[in-house]
Chain A
Amino acid sequence: DAGVIQSPRHEVTEMGQEVTLRCKPISGHNSLFWYRQTMMRGLELLIYFNNNVPIDDSGMPEDRFSAKMPNASFSTLKIQPSEPRDSAVYFCASSLGGPETQYFGPGTRLLVL
């Protein structure tokens, strides 16, 4: 298996633009997680899905952030409009569900100018 796939790997955009991050989980995994990592705030769970349904989105910072999982093999995290403070590395992870071992993607490094 190719592991968790994220795209793009790097994104540079200007403040106010829409940003869409993409994630393909490992085939057969039914839980998907979006995390953000910054120097100031460390690692944060943004949202997680189980069987394509959002279970907990309490970590989503504000209405500018939205996440979808239209099917078991694809998820998006969208920021609209983007702001410089959104600059971070965004990780996607998947697992077999429940408190199981998570497998992380390589991350998307986002820079908002």
Chain B
Amino acid sequence: ELKVEQNPLFLSMQEGKNYTIYCNYSTTSDRLYWYRQDPGKSLESLFVLLSNGAVKQEGRLMASLDTKARLSTLHITAAVHDLSATYFCAVGNQFYFGTGTSLTVIP
């Protein structure tokens, strides 16, 4: 079974700052997904990354995939309070999920 590790598990950051969330996985895969979940709510798809070197950006979020390193990053630029949520990565055809990163942006 593919193992997926996210770090950090918890992240508290000030508005305006930059930070990166990491998603490492144990076996080769060429597809990776990022999701957002607000407390008590459903999930929202953020990015689908399908090849080595893929980079996608939406607003203050940018995701990248390095299949050789088995690593994806979700970079947050100039954080705002509305980005507070839990972020999950999922890997492979069977959608193995990471444990999630709970992000709190402090005004």
> Which A residues contact B (CB, under 8 angstroms)?
33, 35, 42-45, 56, 58-59, 91, 93, 99-107
Q: List 13 A-B contacts (CB under 8 A).
A: A42-B99, A43-B97, A44-B97, A59-B94, A100-B48, A102-B33, A102-B45, A104-B42, A104-B43, A104-B45, A105-B42, A106-B41, A107-B42
Nearest Cβ on chain A to B95's Cβ, whole angstroms? 4
Q: Are A99 and B48 in contact (CB under 8 A)?
A: yes
Q: Which B residue's beta carbon lies closest to that of A48?
A: B95
Given contacts A91-B43, A100-B48, A102-B45, contact A42 B100 (CB under 8 A): yes
How many A-B contacts at CB < 8 Å in the complex? Answer: 40
Q: Are A58 and B88 in contact (CB under 8 A)?
A: no
> Which B residues contact A (CB, under 8 angstroms)?
31, 33, 41-45, 48, 50, 88, 90, 93-100
Q: Which B residue's beta carbon lies closest to that of A58?
A: B94
Cβ contacts under 8 Å, A43 to chain B: 43, 88, 90, 97, 100
Cβ contacts under 8 Å, A101 to chain B: 45, 48
Nearest Cβ on chain B to A38's Cβ, whole angstroms? 12
CA distance A58 to B33 in the complex (A): 20
Nearest Cβ on chain B to A1's Cβ, whole angstroms? 16
Q: Point out the residue from B42, B50, B97 that lies within 8 Å of A99, measured CB to CB.
A: B50
CA distance A107 to B97 in the complex (A): 17
Nearest Cβ on chain A to B22's Cβ, whole angstroms? 17
